[in-house]
Chains A and B, each alone.
Chain A
Amino acid sequence: MEIFKNKIKFNTFKKFNKFNKFNKLTGQITSTEFLIVSSVLIILFIFAANFWNIVAIRFSNKSLRSSLELTALDISDFLIKNPGMPTSWESNTTIIYSLGLASSPNTLTQSKVSAFTTLNYNSSKKILGIPNYEYKFRIRMLNGIVLLQSGLDPTATAEVVSVTRFVLLNSSITKMEFAIWR
């Protein structure tokens, strides 16, 4: 009887011990799993952060480029489709609210173009609404000869957007080039 009781005790202890061992092992596996998951998470976070940085830089460059493109297109559009404000601003360049070079859409007035090219560069930038950018304005004949120009030439490292529009100047088809850069 005593032997039988001892046997039961031993078996219970053995079972308990086995259970304990199993528990310990489970704990260890969980901690290893935790370690692996943490490592994977850290790697993922590092990857996501780098990826986000790359995306953010690309978006920033793209945003600057888009802004330059739309500004160049808007300004060229405004210049060739509007007479400006006041409409005869070329006769008194001290008061100009907005610049325009056209007598009618796509038809430029020689006197307005000449007055625009002789305007103070910084004042014209402010009136055009691009105080933080630089610009270059050119009127070319179709064979490439430059008739009139104003503004600054872009530097080699600058981000430049140039748009060419076809207009009539003195009844001849000419090219109006407007380049904006920063």
Chain B
Amino acid sequence: MRNDNLRKEKGFFFALDSLIAIVIAFILISGVVIFINRAEEDKFPDLYLEKLSNDILFTLNKNNTLQTLDKTKIQNVLSGILPKNLGAKLNITTFSCVDNSCSSFKYNSNITVTVPVNTVENNGVIARTGFVTFKGGRIDLYAIAVLRIWLI
């Protein structure tokens, strides 16, 4: 009877040993797999898309395309710039001053341009910029442009 108990205990210890060993091995293997997967993650496409979206928005702003607030013109210029493997959605929201001292703003209009037309929006990167439009030598509208681009 005592022998039996001892045997049972021995068996129990062996099972516990193997259990601990398996758990440790599993943790180690999982660690290695996670480490390898993380190291293999390619962050370049996102970084490149981010640079590209900022470049596009910056150049559209600098050559006064955005300031026209002309949906057709912006659509044409954007489709001329955008590489064929990318989709883009540009949203421009304009605000005007409430009074002459421009103490606060009110919503004016919203323009949305999608290139290619009717493309489905995917996970992408966002670039933002602000600009103003002039009328009669004075600031007319304040605008925020948000460009989202993604891989098609």
- Contact partner, A62, options B40, B48, B51, B83, Cβ 8 Å: B40
With a CB–CB cut-off of 8 A, which chain A residues contact B48? 69, 73, 163
Write the A66-93 contact mask toward B (1 if CB under 8 angstroms, else 0): 1001100100010010000000000000
A selection of 14 A-B contacts at a CB cut-off of 8 Å is: A58-B40, A69-B48, A73-B47, A77-B51, A164-B83, A166-B52, A166-B56, A166-B81, A168-B62, A171-B63, A173-B59, A173-B63, A173-B80, A173-B81
**B43, chain A: closest CB distance, angstroms:** 9
A45 to chain B, nearest CB (A): 15
Chain A 78-112 residues near chain B, CB threshold 8 A: 80, 105-107
Q: From residue 50 to 68 of chain A, which have CB atoms closer than 8 A to chain B?
A: 55, 58-59, 62, 66
Instruction: Contact check, A62 vs B39: say whether CB atoms are below 8 A apart.
Output: yes
Give bound CA distance, A142 to B77, whole Å. Answer: 10
Contact with B along A137-176 (1 / 0, CB 8 A): 0000010000000000000000000011111100111000
Residue total for B at the interface (Cβ-Cβ under 8 A): 19
Q: Are B39 and A107 in contact (CB under 8 A)?
A: no
The answer to whether A142 and B81 have CB atoms under 8 Å apart is: yes
| Chain B residues closer than 8 Å to A66, beta-carbon distance | 42, 44
Q: Specify which of B36, B59, B80 is in contact with A167 (CB 8 Å cutoff).
A: B59
What is the CA–CA distance of A169 and B59 in the complex, to the nearest angstrom?
Answer: 10
In the complex, are the beta carbons of B62 and A107 less than 8 A apart?
A: yes
Q: Is B140 an interface residue (CB 8 A)?
A: no
Q: Are B51 and A165 in contact (CB under 8 A)?
A: yes
With both chains docked as a complex, state the minimum distance between the C-beta of B147 and any C-beta of chain A, in angstroms: 12
Given A73-B51, A165-B51, 4 more A-B residue pairs with CB atoms under 8 Å apart are A70-B44, A73-B48, A165-B52, A166-B55
Contacts of B58 in A (CB 8 A): 105-106, 166
Cβ–Cβ contact A167 & B55, under 8 A: yes
- Would you call the interface of chain B mostly helix, strand, loop, or mixed? helix
B39 CB, nearest partner CB in chain A, Å: 7
Are the C-beta atoms of B55 and A106 separated by less than 8 Å? yes
A166 to B80, CA, bound (A): 12
74-90 of chain B: CB within 8 A of chain A: 77, 80-81, 83
Q: Which of B36, B52, B63, B77 contacts A168 (CB 8 A)?
A: B63
Residues of A contacting B56 with CB < 8 Å?
166
Which residues of the partner chain B approach A69 to less than 8 Å between Cβ atoms? 44, 48
- Residues on A with beta carbons closer than 8 Å to the beta carbon of B62: 106-107, 168
In the bound complex, do residue B59 and residue A166 qualify as a contact, i.e. CB atoms below 8 Å apart? yes
**Please, how many angstroms separate the alpha-carbon atoms of A30 and B45 in the complex?**
57
A168 touches B59 (CB 8 A): yes
Most chain B CB inside 10 Å of its own CB: which residue of A165, A171, A172: A165
- In the complex, A181→B36 CA distance in Å? 26
Interface residues in B50-79 (C-beta closer than 8 Å to A): 51-52, 55-56, 58-59, 62-63, 77
Q: Identify the closest chain A residue to B45 (Cβ).
A: A69
